């Protein structure tokens, strides 16, 4: 159920967006949390989990606490969508844990 809710939230965030515009905004704002989260959503929706995980984990170390919280929450929702058995989730979860502590 939580994976389904995470997927619905993802689709809701992407509803009415223009992928090219989201990617351009992210390129123009490499440290912008909202812009990077939006492109990570595109990556997940397109099945490019590694890209989304890398994008957000690389960004994580540069952020203040509210930004880190937003990225962590989004990553956790992606982990739900992909499922715990996905090896990409295990690797990203390990990296996130090392960045948190």
Q: What is the pLDDT of residues 28-64, one digit of tens each?
A: 999 999 999 999 999 999 999 999 999 999 999 999 9
Share of the chain above pLDDT 90, in %: 92
Cα gap 90→23, rounded to integer Å = 27
Please state the rounded mean pLDDT for residues 16-34.
97
**Tally of CA atoms within 13 A in the half-sphere of 26 that contains its CB:** 21
Whether residue 16 has pLDDT greater than 90 = yes
Whether residue 1 has pLDDT greater than 80 = no
Whether residue 2 has pLDDT greater than 90 = no
């Amino acid at each position: 159920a939580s994976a389904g809710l995470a997927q619905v939230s993802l689709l809701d965030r992407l509803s009415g967006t223009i992928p090219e515009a989201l990617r351009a905004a992210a390129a123009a704002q490499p440290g912008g949390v909202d812009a990077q989260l939006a492109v990570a959503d595109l990556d997940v929706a397109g099945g490019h989990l590694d890209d989304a995980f890398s994008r957000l984990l690389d960004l994580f170390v540069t952020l203040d606490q509210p930004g880190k919280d937003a990225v962590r929450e989004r990553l956790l929702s992606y982990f739900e969508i992909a499922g715990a058995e996905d090896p990409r989730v295990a690797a990203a979860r390990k990296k996130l844990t090392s960045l948190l502590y």
